[in-house]
Amino acid sequence: MAKQKSLQDINKLFRRKKYAEVVRLLEPEIYRFRDSLLYYRLLGLSCLHLQDGGGAFSYLNRALQIKDDDVDSLLGLAAVHLKKRNVDEALKIWLRIVEHDHANPTANRALNRVRKGMSEDEISRLVDSGKIRKFFPAAPFRLPPAVPLIILILAGIAVGGVFLVKEWPVLLTALNPQPAGTPAPRAEIAAVELSPNALRTDFKAKARFTFSDAEVDRIWKAAKDYFMAYRDNAAVFELNRLLASNASLYIKENARRLKGFARTPEFKDFVDFRDNHPLAAVAKDPGLYDGCYVLWRGAVANLFIGKEQIKFQFLVGSYDNRTFEGAAPVVLDFGEKLENNYYLELLGKVTANGDTFYLKGALLRRLAAEPVESK
């Protein structure tokens, strides 16, 4: 109880914006509260307010290791990336937040700002002026103790009315659920629209693919249609074509944003995996498949088990070596019992690095040896 009370007392200091005091009290207690989400969140956000980017980055990452969807920690980490001019990393985090919380005001405010364009000079002005704080997690609301009861009642009625107006479509959906087996609509995908007046192409740009305005619109529509049909692999492939083309910077920014919504396949996708890509195609042009998932079978070789990662070469082919398509490096950031020569079915995410690639393993299962076909 003392531990919880101590953290709650320090949380009150944080609410009063006593950030230096919070850091002074908490930093010596790191071993005492090493498994506490609130501890690392308070420390990280206090460091953020005190302009200590290194401390904020370290503590907020630890908070997310404890709870990877903690919104305040995610918003704080996005702000750290923005201050470091890592707009792409900040963008990924904001997109991740709105994917699960469409109405999050801070993440939506940040996305709207980035959509208008944000140069390094503009970021510097945000930081120097202190306006970057509008992208920090919102401060907790503190109700003055002397507010009359009637004001509370009226406020409750007003908030309830706003909620009903804003959330009426959600309530209707809850009251009229879709038939079983019907995929849920992807509102976050539908919300990403292109301005009809924005430039589609830049014919001065040096690019692998040269598309017309009409072709850019057609590829964009195809990608969104694939997403809405839950064919994320096909959608990501189309977006990669845009990213490697003469499409305008506006189109590419939105393509990256849309690409960020690609979902990680689940275990059931082993049974019905769509839009798979062969090793030969990925090896020939890794950039076109960056972010796509592949489902391959093969054997483990050159296994290395480290403290934080497992690495091995995946020999793609049949278990009896009658067919061998090639080797692909694999990285796992989760624990798994493996040995060399294990025959696996592996679901991995293609991560391109110039002309090479590796697979970031997502799911795997060991397969029993299949019977050799009789001649």
Cut 0.75: pTM above it:
no
- How confident is the prediction for the chain on average, in pLDDT? 82
* pLDDT tens per residue across span 140-169: 545 444 445 565 677 667 666 555 545 544
pLDDT at 267: 65
Q: List Cβ neighbours of 115 (8 Å cut-off, separation of 6 or more).
A: 253
pLDDT at 167: 52
- Rounded to an integer, what distance in angstroms lies between the CA atom of residue 256 and that of residue 81? 17
SS3 content of the chain, % helix, strand, coil (to 5): 50, 15, 35
Tell me, which fold does domain 267-366 have in CATH?
OB fold (Dihydrolipoamide Acetyltransferase, E2P) (2.40.50)
* pLDDT tens per residue across span 289-303: 999 999 999 999 999
* pLDDT tens per residue across span 214-242: 999 999 999 999 999 999 999 999 999 99
pLDDT exceeding 70 applies to what percent of the chain? 82
CB-CB neighbours of 107 under 10 Å: 23
pLDDT tier for residue 211 given thresholds of 50, 70 and 90: very high
Strands 356-366 and 324-332: parallel
Q: Residue 64: in which H helix or E strand, if any? A: helix 53-66
pLDDT tier for residue 34 given thresholds of 50, 70 and 90: confident
Strand partners, 346: 296, 364
pLDDT at 139: 66
Q: Where are the domains of the chain?
A: 2-135, 187-259, 267-366
Whether the pLDDT of residue 312 is over 60: the answer is: yes
Task: Give the SS3 label for residue 140.
Answer: coil
Phi and psi, residue 362, nearest 5°: -110, -50
Q: List Cβ neighbours of 341 (8 Å cut-off, separation of 6 or more).
A: 299, 300, 301
138 or 45: which carries more pLDDT confidence?
45
- Rounded to an integer, what distance in angstroms lies between the CA atom of residue 220 and that of residue 114? 20
- Rounded to an integer, what distance in angstroms lies between the CA atom of residue 327 and that of residue 300? 10
Asked if 138 contacts 105 with a C-beta cutoff of 8 angstroms, the reply is yes
CATH superfamily of 2-135: Tetratricopeptide repeat domain (1.25.40.10)
